[in-house]
Structure 1
């Protein structure tokens, strides 16, 4: 049987050991709390930074869209220079005067009339039947929906109003008759007397001898813009 002194010493040692373990556990918990707080701060900072970036990006994008919308003008009837907007797209005018439509041009076949955002139209949904475009000169207006189908095949469409000089109309008609994948027709509702159109592209010219006519024909008759290169331009609708 041990002495009272020895028992007291053992009890004191155990208490000291337990107290030390408690202090160590408390210190460990304090460290964990510190690490958790630090990690939370990092996460929160990251979330805040991400939110600021997203908001700024949206703000910048919205500002660009607003600026583009403010600078665009209606071009359903006018054919002036500079960017023009209409129904989901806008014109971009090149240094050569050729306007390129920056917007969607659908290619669905429809049997109902189509409202185009530009006149003459340079693309979009169209009639299943194309207007004959094998160097064909029409003396009466051609349906937009059929002429657009011709443009899809890579044709250049020459249109003119009664304000065009008869000599220019005759010269362009001769040019069209000698050029496969072209067609020509009167078009009252256009702003310029003489207009050349291809899929997604358009040019107003002052006269038939304008050098831009040759360049437009060379570039866009079965040009790179053609959605269906090699498709027939014969056996289409004649009127």
Structure 2
């Protein structure tokens, strides 16, 4: 006569390692889902589309040498080029910064948002909120456009701080994988934001 399984003990052939295997598999599945959700929600290079109006520069033609002294850039902010050995700490600056240090930060994947200080305090205040651990915001007296943003190999100009393409430019280009040293430090360099 066959034994009737005890409902409190479960099936008679249950091996204790079977439930452990399912527990491990379930834990791995949950971990994969959490990681996928995290990366799907992060900002940066590959998850967004570049805004219209970006001028891109051939990466192979952009110099990357460390130099002493001033560099005569064709554009300010420049989309890369030779630069100082010390990078600029990212954040918001109320005074002009040395472009040679800022360009080194671009090499690390930072975005530089420069503005002509004549744009007005309300716009300056709006831009100030963009400074972060991967974005430099600074005035550039005499800048030939109200606002310009640069990343390694890309540059775009804007007429006002409320233009949503400024934020789109930042989302697309910050920590972009084609910067020569993406993800390298944007702290521990020179300059004190504020």
TM-score normalised by the chain length of structure 2: 0.68
Unaligned runs of 5+ in 2: 1-49
Distance 1:95 1:168, change over 3 A: closer
CA deviation profile, 1:28-57 (whole Å, cap 9, x unmatched): xxxxxxxxxxxxxxxxxxxxxxxxxxxxxx
SS in 2 for 1:123: coil
- For CA contacts below 8 A with separation 6 or more, give which structure has more relative contact order: 2
* Maintained 8 Å contact 1:198/1:220: yes
Which structure 1 residue ranges, 4+ long, deviate > 6 Å from structure 2?
Answer: none
Number of the residue aligned with 1:224: 177
SS in 2 for 1:203: strand
Distance 1:95 1:228, change over 3 A: closer
Number of the residue aligned with 1:169: 124
Number of the residue aligned with 1:181: 134
* Maintained 8 Å contact 1:119/1:189: no
Q: Which has the higher helix share?
A: 1
Residue 182 of structure 1, CA deviation: 0.7
RMSD over equivalenced CA pairs, Å: 1.8
* Maintained 8 Å contact 1:130/1:146: yes
* Maintained 8 Å contact 2:115/2:139: yes
1:154 aligns with 2:109: yes
* Maintained 8 Å contact 2:77/2:149: no
Number of the residue aligned with 2:24: none
CA deviation profile, 1:25-84 (whole Å, cap 9, x unmatched): xxxxxxxxxxxxxxxxxxxxxxxxxxxxxxxxxxxxxxxxxxxxxxxxxxxxxxxxxxxx
Residue 132 of structure 1, CA deviation: 0.4
> Within 5 A, what are the aligned runs for 1:1-239?
96-102=52-58, 104-133=61-90, 136-176=91-131, 179-238=132-191
How many residues end up aligned between the 2 structures? 142
Larger Rg: 1
Unaligned runs of 5+ in 1: 1-93
Distance 1:171 1:95, change over 3 A: closer
TM-score normalised by the chain length of structure 1: 0.56
